Structure 1
Amino acid sequence: MSVLPKEGDKRWIPPCRGIFRLDVDVSIHANGNLVGAGFLVRDHERTVLAAAARRIGRTETTLMGELHSILLGVGFCMEQDFCPLEVFTDSLLAVHVLSEKTRGIDSLCDDLYDAFISAKEKIVLDFKHVRREANRAAHFLANLAVCVPDAMIWRSDFPSSLLDIVHRDLN
């Protein structure tokens, strides 16, 4: 008997020293034809190190959009050497899939899971659920990505509107 991941916290909790936290979300509009991914990386001191908003291709399901967004965020963190990494999403189903608790229900999910296994071999990675209240900044970025066709990545000089949202996550 396997134990499924449980629902996450309603508040944002910093990672342990030496670990980076990746918060990810997806925003889907126009019946899956307009999809935005948003993610941000913070450290144990709650400092925002990087953030991104990127429009991605169409998606058939919300789950596939979430998994695609997580894959983008993890790839970014690997490129920028933000490791080891904990990944937080407000999709409990995505956490179930990435925890291999629902293996076999969808071949595309299984393929994405295999991609994450490859990432796990390179960096210490844990997938966790967080409630929407503690994931507002990633949600804001995902909605921004839907509105703006160009990818936006910040490593410094974050827009004040993003920092306002980030501070609300921390309360």
Structure 2
Amino acid sequence: MAELLDFLNKARNGGVKKSSQQLVYGALDRYKINLDGVVFALQKSVGIGVLIRDSEGRLAGACSKKIQAPLGAVEEEAKAVEFGLHFVKDMMIQDFILKGDSLAFMNALKEISPPPSSVAAVVYGSLSTSHGFCQEEFFHVHQQSNRPAYLLAKHALGIRDFSVWIE
């Protein structure tokens, strides 16, 4: 929790260093969305984390959500994308780059490859939602680059439903 709070405080003030990958994609004046999920097997639930930063790297919004359902890793990733897109829509953001650490889901969202069959309906629903935005792009990032979203997802273990931070 301390690591998450430290990151959020730095992001609020624009003090988060951009990785080389962010610099490549950062040339565009768009919001950057990171999302991730984690399975809490013993609690039969999953946590989802969504982090929204502006083009300068400053925190615009963040969310932790707990889903009380015994989902596996594939289902958790699909729900993270679905929830992340709805959160972005609720924040009234129209132009963004969405980053996640699941290569299979990012490729499915880019329509490079089909989604896992067990979650195809959720992924196609997310694709449909994404077509309602002005401009969106999907990128795969390594887990280390996605750590803040992972920490937000982990934070969901200690909450009842969801927590939202908006700047």
Q: How would you bin the TM-score normalised by the shorter chain?
A: 0.7 to 0.9
Q: Residues 110 and 150 (structure 1 numbering): CA distance in 2 closer, same or farther, change over 3 Å?
A: closer
The alpha carbon displacement at 1:117 in A equals 2.5
Report the RMSD for the aligned CA atoms in angstroms.
2.1
What is the count of residue pairs matched by the alignment?
Answer: 146
Selected match of 1:122 from 132, 140, 148: 132
The farther-off stretch of 138-147 and 94-103 is: 94-103
Q: Any stretches of 5+ residues in structure 1 without a counterpart? A: 1-9, 157-171
Counterparts of 1:69 and 1:88, CA distance in 2: 11
Q: Residues 104 and 63 (structure 1 numbering): CA distance in 2 closer, same or farther, change over 3 Å?
A: closer
Selected match of 2:121 from 111, 116, 125: 111
Selected match of 2:66 from 55, 77, 89: 55
- Is this contact kept in 2: 1:63–1:94, CA < 8 A? no
Instruction: Give every structure 1 segment of 4 or more consecutive aligned residues whose post-TM-superposition deviation is greater than 6 Å.
Output: none
- Is this contact kept in 1: 2:105–2:115, CA < 8 A? no
Normalising by structure 2, report the TM-score: 0.77
Counterparts of 1:150 and 1:76, CA distance in 2: 14
Counterparts of 2:54 and 2:30, CA distance in 1: 7
Q: Any stretches of 5+ residues in structure 2 without a counterpart? A: 1-18
Counterparts of 1:59 and 1:92, CA distance in 2: 23
Counterparts of 1:66 and 1:59, CA distance in 2: 13
Pair 1:22-2:41 in alignment? no
Counterparts of 1:36 and 1:152, CA distance in 2: 11
The farther-off stretch of 10-19 and 49-58 is: 10-19
Selected match of 2:46 from 25, 31, 35: 35
The alpha carbon displacement at 1:104 in A equals 6.6
Aligned to 1:159: none
